[in-house]
Amino acid sequence: MIAGIDHFVLTVRSVEATCDFYRRVLGMRQLDEPNRPTALVLGSQKINLHEVGRTFEPKAKTPMPGSGDFCLVAAVPLAEVQASLEANGVAIEVGPVQRTGARGPMMSVYFRDPDDNLVEVSEYPLD
C-alpha cells in the first residue's frame, strides 16, 4: 500500500538556524513557497519545518523541538559526510557503526542538529 516517504515535519526553534545547519553541513536545498512551510529538499523527499509558535495546520498533537530521531541515506561516501561534520564543528555521537536499515546492512554516524534532534546518516554498501 505504501511506496515511500514524501516528507516529514520537524518543529524547530528557528527555521533560519535549522536551514543554515542542513544547507551548510549536509548540502540540502532550502525551499520557500508562499503560504507553505519552509522545507529542506533532499533527493526526491523533503523535510517541512514548523517554527514554534508558527506551525501550520494540521500538525502533530504535541509538536516539540528536539523530538526528532531519523535516518538519512547519504548520496556520497560516509567519509565525506564525516569530513563535513568535522569541518563544521558537529560532534559525532556514535559511529561509524554498522546498523540494519530498510534495505539491509549499512554504516551509520549519529549527531545532533541545532534543536538536538538525533540525525543518523547512513551508507549502504555498493552492490
Q: Is residue 32 part of a domain?
A: yes
Which CATH number fits the domain that encloses residue 82?
Answer: 3.10.180.10
Q: How far, in Å, CA of 29 to CA of 118, rounded? A: 20
Q: Is residue 1 part of a domain?
A: no
How confident is the model over 31-69, as pLDDT tens digits? Answer: 999 989 999 999 899 999 999 987 677 777 888 899 999
120 among known catalytic residues: yes
Q: Max Cα separation, the chain?
A: 45
- With a pLDDT cut of 70, the percent of the chain lying above it is 98
pLDDT of 126 above 70: yes
Domain count, the chain: 1
Q: Which of 57, 86, 120, 123 is labelled catalytic?
A: 120
Q: Is residue 2 part of a domain?
A: no
User: Which residues form the domain of 69?
Assistant: 7-123
Comparing CA positions, the residue from 69, 28, 70, 36 lying closest to residue 54 is 36
